[in-house]
Amino acid sequence: MQIKHIKHKDIDFKKWDDTIVSSPIAYVFAQSFYLNATCPHWDALVIGDYESVFPLTHKFKFGFTYLPQPPFTSQLGAYGKVDEEREQLFYDYILAHYKLIEIELNSFNQQKSEFIKEKKTYWINYGQNYKFNQNTKRNISKATDNGFVVEQVSFNEILPLSQKLLNPFLENELNLSKNALHLFDNLLNNAIKANQLFTFKVSDKNNNLRALAHFVSNGKHTLFLKGTNFDRKENSGSMHLLINHAIEFFKDKSLYFDFGGGSNSTGLAGFYSGLGGEELTYSYLRINKLPGLIKFLKNKQ
């Protein structure tokens, strides 16, 4: 069994995407349109005729090439036909070629290492029962009683609305850089072109916008990408109403609803679990074999 390192310009994106969507869990993060936005020059590790694949999200800094986790992206690693031998081949390859590795492996990967730590997110498996807690139900009822309405945003309205209302939240409250916002806009554009972006908004009786959120879905995996409510001081239930609508909307269009991480925050973990989310664990691989001075500079960032 042999690994091929395929440069970005030579990747067969059709074969790549066919492998991703036929994987046990077809995470949208690993599809070519997604990676092309969040890591525009990524390469591919391939076994056979795209039987097993592994994205290389490499960057160059301080005179060396390293593997970081791209923005807005989670759970990459090995896809397609995955077993212990193939995972080990991928693992050995990246260890031999990169001195700094900070990537997430998807929940189907079973690679063990002293350099791997567990991470968690929340999701709904539509094949299993899920239920909302009482606080979530109260918030949904409150928003409904106030006359709030959820609507899907048309493709031509998504980007202007997102740039006007959501980007300031991402920049000012989540402290995202201008470059990250540019990547985010590119991701929305790519998802629209792939016909995999769904955006919902909540409006009140006076047509004031109360909440906005983006979802990416490939028919198997649905991701809550980013969103927020604009009336947080009022505790109006607008975001609960929006997410409830999305969960029901994708119920017959997807296998999994992914809340998109952020579970290190106690508040978000409570929000996701209150909406029926169950914990899902996956792996974070971090190896730093940089020379001393560069390692110091990296750790200071």
pLDDT band of residue 292 (cuts 50, 70, 90) is: low
User: For 99-112, b where at least 16 C-beta lie within 10 A, e where not — what string?
Assistant: bbbbbbbbbbbebe
Largest CA distance in the chain: 63
| CA atoms of 274 and 211, how far apart (whole Å) | 18
Rg (CA), the chain: 20
What are the tens digits of pLDDT across the range 86-102?
999 999 999 999 989 99
Amino acid 293: pLDDT: 45
Comparison of pLDDT for 265 and 23, the residue scoring more: 23
Two tokens, residue 168: 């300031």
pTM: 0.92
For the record, the structure tokens of 88 come out as 């080990």
Identify whether the C-beta of residue 221 lies closer than 8 Å to the C-beta of residue 88: no
Tell me the pLDDT tens digit for each residue of 111-135: 988 999 999 999 999 999 999 999 9
Looking at residue 262, its pLDDT comes to 55
pLDDT 10s digits, 28-84 = 999 999 999 999 999 999 999 999 999 999 988 767 889 999 999 999 999 999 999
Report whether pLDDT(296) > 60.
Answer: no
Q: Reduced to 3 states, what is the DSSP secondary structure of residue 194?
A: coil
Instruction: State the average pLDDT over residues 256-263.
Output: 81
With tokens 């664990």, the residue in question is 281
Q: What is the pLDDT of residue 29?
A: 97
Q: Which domains does the chain have, with CATH numbers?
A: 3-119+282-300 (3.40.630.30), 131-276 (3.40.630.30)
User: Nearest-5° angle of CA 112, CA 54, CA 175?
Assistant: 85
Joined together, the tokens standing for residue 125 give 């498996």
What tens digit of pLDDT does each residue of 169-210 get?
999 988 999 999 999 999 999 999 999 999 999 999 999 999
